[in-house]
């Protein structure tokens, strides 16, 4: 596609449910990032992939959060046993080059509301 595509755009989950958020990066982009953006805040880093390898997961807030990118293209962010504090917009970004030389292209985000 022309840009980074994320689905679903909106997700409402009951506390304790598992959710899966999908990211389709720009074709050929090697790097993929997940960020979490709480209301009124800046995005916060969750995890980073280079192709299928997860090189940095230092931002994942707990072991309920899991991300994968098995074939080096589409990525899924999974949140198990959702809690109210997980409510946020989850942003995916991709880049054709390393972070320091290339700009990040962001998707429109998946807004998760946990009731």
Partner 1 sequence: AQKVTQAQTEISVVEKEDVTLDCVYETRDTTYYLFWYKQPPSGELVFLIRRNSFDEQNEISGRYSWNFQKSTSSFNFTITASQVVDSAVYFCALSVNYGGSQGNLIFGKGTKLSVKP
Tell me which residues touch partner 1 (CB under 8 A): 3-4, 31, 33, 35, 40-45, 48, 50, 55-56, 58-59, 89, 91, 93, 98-100, 103-109
Q: What is the nearest approach in angstroms of partner 1 to the Cβ of residue 16?
A: 27
Give Cα 68 distance to the centre of its chain.
10
Judged by CB, which is closer to partner 1: 66, or 105? 105
Smallest gap from residue 32 Cβ to partner 1 (A): 11
Q: Measuring CA to CA, which residue among 37, 47, 42 is closest to residue 87?
A: 37
53-67 burial, b if ≥16 CB within 10 A, otherwise e?
Answer: ebeeeeebeeeebeb
- Of residues 48 and 79, the one with the C-beta less far from partner 1: 48
Q: What is the largest CA-CA distance in the chain?
A: 41
Nearest CB to partner 1, comparing residues 9 and 15:
9
Q: Which is nearer to partner 1, 17 or 66 (CB)?
A: 66
**42, 95 in Cβ contact below 8 A?**
no
């Amino acid at each position: 596609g022309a840009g980074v595509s994320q689905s679903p755009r909106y997700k409402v989950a009951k506390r304790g449910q598992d959710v899966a958020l999908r990211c389709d990066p720009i074709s050929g982009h090697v790097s993929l990032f997940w960020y979490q953006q709480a209301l009124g805040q800046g995005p916060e880093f969750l995890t980073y992939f280079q192709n299928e390898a997860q090189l940095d997961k230092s931002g994942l807030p707990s072991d309920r959060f899991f991300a994968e990118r098995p074939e080096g293209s589409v990525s899924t962010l999974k949140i198990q046993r959702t809690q109210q504090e997980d409510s946020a917009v989850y942003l995916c970004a991709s880049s054709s080059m390393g972070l320091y030389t290339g700009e990040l292209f962001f998707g429109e985000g998946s807004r998760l509301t946990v009731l």
